[in-house]
Amino acid sequence: MMKLALLGFGVVGKGVYDEVQKRSDMEVSKVLVRRHIEEIAPIATADIAEIVNDPAIDIVAEVMGGLHPAYEYICAALNAGKHVVTANKAVISAYYGELTELARKNGVALRCTAAVGGGIPWLVNLERCCRLDTVTEVGGIMNGTTNYIMDAMHAAPVAFDEILKKAQELGYAEADPSADIDGDDIRRKLTISANIAFGAQLSEEEIPMFGIRTVTDGDIAAFQSRGYVCKLIATAKRTEQGVAAWLEPTLVDAHALEAAVPQNYNLISFQSEYLGRQSYFGQGAGRYPTASNVVQDCLDIAEGKRAFYTDAAQLMTPDNSGVMHAYYVRTDKADAWLEAITAETLGDGVITKPVRVAQMLPWAKANLEMGNPLFIAAIR
């Protein structure tokens, strides 16, 4: 019987515990927690050393979240010769090269399927595709919180702050929703996906992004008047220069597949030379959907899986200079550059001529940092 140790007993940790309790081929023998929880009191510990030094523990499942001390605990487990399964996108994105190399060095498995897409089996299918095919593009709707907000704003006129508050009440958004609405959460998922798809090692900080914090119901009404739906979409592409990667609000046709993604669901896709486009739809978060992929990773390891999703990790810097499209831009302080590229007006904003992503996103970021009211959306 395979023995697991859980690091954390929050939403996902409790879900993993419940799923394992149903099985006869594995058991949770230790749980690292900081407070007393009666349900797991006999197997609880506050000392990571009790886990990494226990020769009976085969897999350490890290579900505590955050960068620290999760990073240090994962390193300790790998160095102790234990397989690691994690749902922690922040750690995998930030320490991608180091952790994958540490796993290889120690001859143990490192799996993180639940880190991208929650309950969607995205990374394992991306891995399978990369075995035989060349992936040319990955991305999509990769965050349930932002999709819930955008979906609600399209369903009925509602202010952003009002629907964000509702999302928090429902548990879809954190008390501090910045990682979701500003794009950090999505950027981490895109970084991991692009690294696996393209055999790359990207730094998440080098991927430009623009979130939905500044969208208004007036923007949404203008988009709908033209038959558009706005979604926050992440994209990474294989290019002649290497890899292009970015994320931004994007206007898609109301009949497009992305436009139909409801509530807090995700739609993640890859494009490859032979298979074409394949898309994976499902719940991108939640206790049992996410826990399911954690347990699936544990079962893969129990069946002998040792490899990461790819062996390649070439250092690359995203180059978006070759990607161009038109944008919707709403701002009270149009400058000479924006005026020079304006093609027409739409609602309170303008539609630009095709512009390089490498120009628009840094321009938009600079304006936000100067306190200029601004919203942009790419037009697909």
Task: Identify the residue whose tokens are 């979130």.
Answer: 211
Active-site residue (options: 89, 189, 231, 237): 189
Tokens 């590229």 belong to 341
Structure-token pair, residue 264:
């807090």
Q: Which of 100, 234, 250, 124 is nearest to 180 (CA)?
A: 234
Task: Quote the CA–CA distance of 32 and 213 in Å, as a whole number.
Answer: 36
Encode burial over 115-143: b for 16+ CB neighbours within 10 A, e otherwise: bbbbbbbbbbbbbebbeeeebbbbbbbbb
CA 89 vs CA 113, 279, 364: distances in Å = 10, 20, 26
Return the CA Rg of the chain.
22
Number of Cβ within 10 Å of residue 305's Cβ equals 15
Nearest to 238 by CA among 269, 272, 204: 272
Q: Is 245 exposed, middle or buried (0-12, 13-18, 19+ CB in 10 A)?
A: buried
Q: What angle do CA 379, 261, 182 make, to 5 degrees?
A: 60
3-state class (DSSP) for residue 233: strand
d(CA 64, CA 11): 9
Q: Where are the alpha helices (DSSP H) in 202-286?
A: 217-225
Torsion-angle region of 160 (φ positive above 0: left; ψ -120 to 50: alpha; else: beta): alpha
Task: Reply yes or no on whether 189 is catalytic.
Answer: yes
Compute the C-alpha angle 220/359/261, nearest 5°: 35
Going by C-alpha positions, the residue among 122, 129, 67 that lies closest to residue 98 is 67
| 243 Cβ contact list (under 8 Å, min separation 6) | 194, 198, 200, 202, 236, 237, 316, 318, 319
| Catalytic center residues | 189
